[in-house]
Amino acid sequence: MQRYQHLEAVIFDWAGTVVDFGSFAPTQVLIDVFAEIGITVSMAEARVPMGLAKWDHIQALGRLPGVAERWQARFGRAMNDTDVDRLYQQFMPLQVARVGEYSAPIPGAIDTVNLLRQRGLKIGSCSGYPRVVMDRLLPLAAAAGYAPDHTVATDDLAAGGRPGPWMALDNVIELAVSDVRHCVKVDDTAPGIAEGLRAGMWTVGLSASGNAVGLTAEKWSALSPAHQAEYRAPAEAQLTTAGAHYVVDTIAELPAVLMQIEARLAAGERP
Give start and end residues of each alpha helix (H) in 24-179. Answer: 25-36, 43-47, 54-63, 65-75, 81-98, 109-118, 131-144, 166-174
| Contact in structure between 261 and 202 (CB atoms under 8 Å) | yes
SS3 content of the chain, % helix, strand, coil (to 5): 55, 10, 35
| Contact in structure between 53 and 160 (CB atoms under 8 Å) | yes
Quick check: bond before 271 cis, omega within 30?
no
Q: Which of 13, 20, 56, 170 is catalytic?
A: 13
Q: Which of 54, 170, 187, 188 is catalytic?
A: 54
| Contact in structure between 232 and 39 (CB atoms under 8 Å) | no
| Contact in structure between 51 and 190 (CB atoms under 8 Å) | yes
Q: How many CB atoms lie within 10 A of CB 58?
A: 25
Contacts of 217 (CB under 8 A, 6+ apart): 21, 22, 106, 107, 209
Whole-number Å distance between alpha carbons of 203 and 195: 9
| 13 included as an active-site residue | yes
184 membership: H or E segment, kind and range = strand 183-187
| 185 included as an active-site residue | no
| Closest to 162 in 3D by CA, of 214, 211, 114, 220 | 211
CA 10, 14, 20, 22 dihedral sign is negative
Catalytic residues: 13, 54
